[in-house]
Amino acid sequence: MIALLRGSVRSASAGRVVIDVGGVGYLVFVTSRLSLGLSAGDALEVETSYIVREDSATLFGFATVQERELFDLLRSVTGVGPKSALAILNEIDAEAVAMAVANEDDIAFKAVSGIGPKTAKLIVVTLAGKLGLKPAAASAGTSSKAVPFDGQVIDALVGLGWSERAASDSVAELLRQDTFETRDALLRAALGKLSAPRKQG
């Protein structure tokens, strides 16, 4: 596992940099914000995420630990691979991502090339509560109970393609049967219920 590289820049272009570490050149994919500010010979230290697949081994580099952790969180979202996660960070900085998730605003993610409406909605739902920021309304003094997360789950399900009636019925039935402490738990249960094959009568 390669978690950090420290060396000098051998070359840099949009979205990638070669770092010379003790005579070994590492090709690292980075955000354009980082690469465009670099020149050959610059000293550079990057936090890295090393992604190994059957046909490739790729290094992604980040200016801060926070950015690397956010990259890994984005990759945990269904439909978001490492290139898509880096594309998001290339367009939206870490603080803006956290604010968008806290405020349940998926518009910023839809604007990223390769991120469709369903994936944008999943990013907001999956990362909710994991980035350390509260919604703007809550910080202004609104109790979180004023916006129950069952409504947010229904909105997420509608965004993923189910009808509002089917989403509402599914969530209501689940809440009658059990107690869900988090939005994610309720969403997972609802997705499982709606995706399960129906019994033939």
- pLDDT of the residue at 132: 67
175 and 106 co-located in one domain: yes
Mean pLDDT of the chain: 84
96 and 144 co-located in one domain: yes
Confidence of residue 149 (pLDDT cuts 50, 70, 90): low
**Can you give the CATH number for the domain in which 15 is found?**
2.40.50.140
56 and 84 co-located in one domain: no
Closest CA to 126 of 187, 51, 65, 72: 187
54 and 81 co-located in one domain: no
Between these two residues, 142 and 158, which has the higher pLDDT value? 158
183, pLDDT greater than 60: yes
Domain span including residue 177: 77-195
- pLDDT of the residue at 148: 45
Helix axes 183-195, 149-159, angle to 10 degrees: 40
Question: Mean pLDDT over residues 138-157, rounded?
Answer: 53
Cβ(118)–Cβ(160) under 8 Å?
A: yes
Q: How many domains does the chain have?
A: 2
What's the token pair of residue 46? 């990057």
- For the ranges 68-72, 105-109, 132-136, 196-200, the one whose mean pLDDT is highest: 68-72
- pLDDT of the residue at 199: 46
Cβ(44)–Cβ(63) under 8 Å?
A: no
- Give the side-chain half-sphere CA count within 13 A for 72: 15
What is the DSSP annotation of 20-85? EETTEEEEEE--HHHHTT--TT-EEEEEEEEEEETTEEEEEEESSHHHHHHHHHHHTSTT--HHHH
Between these two residues, 81 and 165, which has the higher pLDDT value? 81
- pLDDT of the residue at 147: 33
Between these two residues, 44 and 182, which has the higher pLDDT value? 44
100 and 190 co-located in one domain: yes
Closest CA to 7 of 23, 16, 15, 34: 23
What's the token pair of residue 76? 């945990």
- pLDDT of the residue at 198: 54
Residue 20, phi then psi, degrees to nearest 5: -85, 110
- pLDDT of the residue at 172: 79
Between these two residues, 50 and 102, which has the higher pLDDT value? 50
124, pLDDT greater than 70: yes
